[in-house]
């Protein structure tokens, strides 16, 4: 139930009904290698095979389908250059709703192309995210468009939570789930679903060491500004918002622990996914595997890992799986 600050199982069940027509229900697969290595069943949720390459489509679709008729007519706007932007663009087009994604001129061409390919209008404004935000605010106030944020929104959290329902349906004996954490929309929804359906389950968050905003905010006990650093887990970058309304509290209340992994561990996990699981995943999708392989997370009974996204530059991917010691942190 929505009580103003939290999203619950009934919201997530409603989202599942709403989005099931357009969302791909991704498979869970056993990892023979990890099961053998850790002596406990390890399951991979193949969400990188979701349409648009990540789970962000779930929340975005739920938000678009929840618009009023007037809101549908005026369209939606977003600021994400990454997976949320792709998901939102796709969900809007799929449902005949106009969509503008605003970004600064510093955004690389391949990201712009990725979003255009999903059918959204891309509007490039100024040299910073702040400039882009000014245009977003104008589109909302003057043109009546609806801003769909990437994580701190009830429809987004409930949509991402449908992943937790699928995990509970497919793996009712699950003891532990390792889930990525950035803004916390994903883990808030997944933890709410899993803890309602499978009492006693542990939900462990995983972030990268470099710029782990939610982790640092939880340590301090409130949302604070955390500097963003370049990382192989680029979809996990960015803050949680000083005015965070939902995901900070839900993460605090529902997540048992947050583990941080290094750049080398993330690269090793991308490599592992390719050579041992036949999966091409981006750095953010690999942090659960990194947590296990590094020994930082111990599979305590049947364990599920979420492969949350697959949108990685294929040249970078090729260098990593070839064993090159790739360092994306040099610019900081
Ligand atoms: C956005 C994203 C995450 C993190 O989701 P949050 O809701 O921001 O915590 C994890 N993995 C991938 C691939 C993503 O795109």
* Burial environment of residue 36 by CB neighbours within 10 A (0 to 12, 13 to 18, 19 or more): exposed
Cβ burial 42-55 (10 Å sphere, 16+ → b, else e): bbbbbbbbbbbbbb
**Is pLDDT above 50 for 2?**
no
Tokens of 126: 């100024």
**pLDDT at site 43:** 98
**pLDDT at site 331:** 62
**pLDDT at site 1:** 42
Which whole number is the average pLDDT over 296-320?
Answer: 96
Distance CA 286, CA 267 (A): 8
**pLDDT at site 110:** 80
Tokens of 193: 């679903």
Distance CA 67, CA 185 (A): 19
d(CA 191, ligand 1 centre) in Å? 14
**Is pLDDT above 60 for 4?**
no
**Is pLDDT above 80 for 330?**
no
Take atom 14 of ligand 1 and give the residue whose Cα is closest.
235
Q: What 3-state DSSP class applies to 309?
A: strand
> What is the pTM assigned to this prediction?
0.96
Confidence band, pLDDT 50/70/90 cuts, at residue 332: low
d(CA 281, ligand 1 centre) in Å? 13
Take atom 7 of ligand 1 and give the residue whose Cα is closest.
185
Tokens of 147: 């801003």
Give the C-alpha distances (Å, rounded to integers) separating 151 from 154, 281, 330, 331: 8, 21, 29, 27
Which whole number is the average pLDDT over 35-51?
Answer: 98
Lowest mean pLDDT among 16-20, 123-127, 286-290: 123-127
Take atom 1 of ligand 1 and give the residue whose Cα is closest.
235
Q: What 3-state DSSP class applies to 206?
A: strand
Pick from 203, 221, 139, 151: which is nearest to 182 by CA? 151
Please list every protein residue whose CB sits less than 6 Å from any atom of ligand 1. Answer: 54, 56, 83, 151, 180-187, 235-236, 282, 284-285, 308-309
**Is pLDDT above 60 for 181?**
yes
Residue % of the chain over a pLDDT of 90: 86
- Tokens 């600064």: give the residue: 104
Distance CA 179, CA 306 (A): 6
């Amino acid at each position: 139930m929505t009580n103003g600050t939290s999203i619950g199982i009934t919201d997530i069940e409603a989202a599942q009904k709403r989005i099931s027509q357009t969302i791909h229900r991704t498979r869970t697969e056993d990892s023979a290698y990890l099961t053998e290595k850790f002596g406990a069943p390890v399951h991979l949720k193949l969400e990188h095979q979701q349409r648009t390459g990540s789970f962000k489509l779930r929340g975005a679709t739920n938000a678009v389908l929840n618009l009023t008729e007037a809101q549908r007519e005026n369209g939606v706007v977003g600021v994400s250059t990454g997976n949320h932007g792709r998901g939102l663009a796709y969900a809007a087009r799929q449902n005949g709703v106009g969509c503008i994604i605003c970004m600064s001129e510093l955004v690389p061409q391949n990201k712009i192309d990725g979003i255009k390919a999903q059918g959204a209008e891309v509007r490039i404004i100024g040299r910073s995210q702040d400039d882009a935000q000014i245009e977003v605010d104008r589109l909302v106030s003057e043109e009546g468009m609806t801003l769909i944020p990437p994580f701190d929104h009830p429809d987004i959290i409930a949509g991402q939570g449908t992943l937790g329902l699928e995990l509970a349906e497919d793996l009712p004996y699950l003891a532990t789930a390792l889930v990525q954490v950035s803004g916390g929309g994903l883990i808030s929804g997944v933890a709410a679903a899993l803890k309602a359906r499978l009492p006693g389950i542990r939900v462990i968050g995983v972030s990268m060491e470099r710029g782990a905003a939610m982790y640092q905010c939880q340590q301090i006990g409130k949302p604070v500004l955390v500097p963003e650093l370049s990382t192989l887990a680029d979809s996990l970058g960015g803050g949680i918002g000083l005015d965070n309304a939902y995901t900070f509290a839900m993460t605090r209340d529902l997540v048992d622990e947050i583990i941080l992994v290094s750049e080398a561990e993330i690269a090793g996990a991308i490599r592992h996914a390719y050579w041992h699981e036949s999966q091409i995943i981006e750095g953010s999708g690999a942090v659960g595997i990194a947590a296990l392989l590094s020994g930082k997370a111990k599979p305590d009974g049947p364990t599920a890992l979420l492969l949350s996204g697959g949108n990685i530059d294929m040249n970078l991917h090729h260098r990593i799986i070839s064993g090159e010691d790739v360092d994306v942190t040099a610019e900081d």
